[in-house]
A = this chain, B = another copy of it.
Amino acid sequence: MTRFALTLEFDGGPFMGLQRQSHGPSVQQAVEDAAFAVTGEAVVMHAAGRTDAGVHALGMRAHLDIAKTITPFRLMEALNALLRPAPVAVLDCEEVADDWHARFSCTGRSYVYRIANRRAPLTLERGKAWQIAKPLDAEAMHRAAQALVGRHDFTTFRSAHCQSASPLKTLDRLVVRREGEAVLVEAAARSFLHHQVRSMVGCLALVGMGRWSEAQVAEALEAKDRQALGLNAPPDGLYFVHASYPEA
């Protein structure tokens, strides 16, 4: 058995999410089906994160155990050929130690959330960003975001379906910056609760629109109550960017 680590890029639009689902297509199923076609083995994929329906990835990490003798390059090429037309691509593939685990060895995850701050409906970016017509104050959003950085009980920003044992998480970084008509929110942590990034972005958007004061974000956090959540941002704008691991 050889363990292969994959770096995946995907358009989450046509999928029910990364994880295999009984009721529709998933990124996991697409990769496992392609791996079966290459190897004839019932391969199981483990990924660093479990992204929701409609959420994209620029650099998701995952691993597969394969008995067949194959080089990482040949495996990557074969998977990419067999994944078509599903919008999933293997950007990189390497052999890793048997105890390297895409999910459990992962020590850091980062996301970017893309808001298209413009009046006109989206065309080329449709499904790839959250369109907000009202002009956003990105600097106010950034200031408000800093109240969320650090170790907190993120119950307010947690989905009812979250399977995490604890609502306590340490948010390492939450940066809001404007780039032309785009407003980008970058988030990094060891791990996140289910819907945490989208829930934080939703509340920051309320600040950006002037509907919430900056202090209300801190108050929502302190409430430790899902009812205190202002708004959950749609999945379209969310991208899993990077997973980090200790140096071997």
Give the segment of A42-50, A121-129, A197-205 that binds chain B: A121-129
Residue of B nearest to A9 (CB): B123
Tell yes or no: A214 within 8 A of B by CB: no
Contact at B87–A124, with CB atoms within 8 Å?
yes
Q: Which residues of B contact A11 (CB under 8 A)?
A: 123-124, 126
Q: How large is the interface on A (under 10, 10 to 19, 20 to 34, 35 or more residues)?
A: 20 to 34
Tell yes or no: A4 within 8 A of B by CB: no
The interface bits of chain A over 85-123 (1 if a CB of B lies within 8 angstroms of the residue's CB, else 0) are 001111100000000000000000000000000101111
Contact at A120–B87, with CB atoms within 8 Å?
no
Q: Which residues of B contact A123 (CB under 8 A)?
A: 9-11, 87-89
Q: Which residues of B contact A63 (CB under 8 A)?
A: none
Q: Which residues of B contact A58 (CB under 8 A)?
A: 124
The interface bits of chain A over 1-45 (1 if a CB of B lies within 8 angstroms of the residue's CB, else 0) are 000000001110000000000000000000000000000000000
Tell yes or no: A56 within 8 A of B by CB: yes
Q: Which residues of B contact A122 (CB under 8 A)?
A: 89
Q: Measured between C-beta atoms, what is the minimum distance from A112 to chain B in Å?
A: 12
Q: How far is the CA of A120 from the CA of B124 in the complex (A)?
A: 21
Contact at B120–A9, with CB atoms within 8 Å?
yes
The interface bits of chain A over 112-150 (1 if a CB of B lies within 8 angstroms of the residue's CB, else 0) are 000000101111101010000000000000000000000
Residue of A83, A87, A89, A122 ringed by the most chain B CB atoms within 10 A: A89
Q: Which residues of B contact A9 (CB under 8 A)?
A: 120, 123-124
- A-B CB contact pairs (8 Å), 10 listed: A9-B123, A9-B124, A11-B124, A56-B124, A84-B121, A87-B123, A89-B120, A89-B121, A89-B123, A91-B120
List residues of chain A with CB under 8 Å of any chain B CB: 9-11, 56, 58, 80, 83-84, 87-91, 118, 120-124, 126, 128
